[in-house]
Amino acid sequence: MDLPEEVEAVYKQYRGEKKIYGRSAEGRPLYALFMGRHEYPIGISQYALHAREWVTTLLAFFHLERGVRRGGVWVLPLTNPDGALLSQLGAASLSAKRREQALKVNKGSPDFTLWKANAEGVDLNVNFDARWGTGTQNVFTPAPGNYVGEAPLCAPESRALWNFTEETAPDFTVSWHTKGEEIYWRFREPFFHAIRDKKLANILSKSTGYPLRDAKGSAGGYKDMCIERLRIPAFTVECGEDKFSHPLGREHADSIIRKCGEALRALTEGM
């Protein structure tokens, strides 16, 4: 069973509220599962936006089992299913239509383990409309990582995620990535929002043991758009020790869960 199939199995067995909020470039469903109650605070917690960071999906499964005691959270366990499969299984996981293109973007190499982008070579976490295209590491042609796309939200996965976010109108969002064991929480927010958000960031920091950091030179991320457009607290949590190499595999899941498993509970209870 591959990772999208695991997510599908969890989705089918889940007895709570759930929905398919969009489709990937390859037509795979994008799943959202709700835990808790529809009362303040309501959050979105999304995982595996970068292909090689697919191990965070296993953290999503744990968060669903653990639940929250206050408010509710929409869990989006695999926001880049095509990319995750490409990173794990290589070009054979793609349709013939995209296989040749992906190999070309990957400079002919059959090794896609370090791939971050979606099936179209768009890095979803620089494809959001928050000072799009101004990041210091941005590139402007399809690539395994950092390609901003032809326009903000041009990728079906980022567009679906943003449409779902606007529809949900969350009070906060958390994005789970790897690696480095640190938390990014800022994006040009006003001073009074920074005070509010740092309090919540400190709750995440205490729960995980991860320090707070500024992502200098970054732009176009999901967190960034949530902060700039919706004026809500939004966080990117980088799981897994930096001493290990990408991609972190299943053998790292227990350690990540041990450190990050209580974070959503702690955050909702602290708001």
Considering the domain boundaries, does residue 63 fall inside one?
no
168-194 pLDDT per residue, tens:
999 999 999 999 999 999 999 999 999
Domain annotation covers residue 187:
yes
pTM value is 0.97
- CA terminus-to-terminus distance, the chain: 38
Q: What is the DSSP-derived secondary structure letter of residue 125?
A: G
The answer as to whether 218 is a domain residue is yes
Tally the residues of the chain. 271
Residues 87, 56 contacting (CB under 8 angstroms): no
- How many distinct structural domains can be found in the chain? 1
Tell whether the model's pLDDT for residue 19 goes beyond 90. yes
In the predicted model, is pLDDT for residue 215 greater than 90? no
| Residue 62 belongs to a domain | no
What is the arithmetic mean of pLDDT over 70-87? 98
| CA–CA separation, 193 and 187 (whole Å) | 10
Query: With bands split at pLDDT 50, 70 and 90, how would you rate the model's confidence at 37?
Result: very high
Burial (CB < 10 A; 0-12, 13-18, 19+), residue 180, is middle
Per-position b or e across 219-237, b if 16+ CB within 10 A of its CB: bbbbbbbbbbebebbbbbb
- Indicate the pLDDT class of residue 216, thresholds 50, 70 and 90: confident
- What pLDDT is recorded for position 97? 87
**Residue 175: inside a domain:** yes
CATH of the domain at 117: 3.40.630.10
265, part of any domain: yes
Decide if 238 is inside a domain. yes
Residue 53 structural domain: 3-40+47-57+70-270
pLDDT, averaged across the chain: 97
- Whether 148 is in a domain gets the answer yes
- Please give the backbone phi and psi of residue 5, each rounded to the nearest 5 degrees, phi first: -70, -35
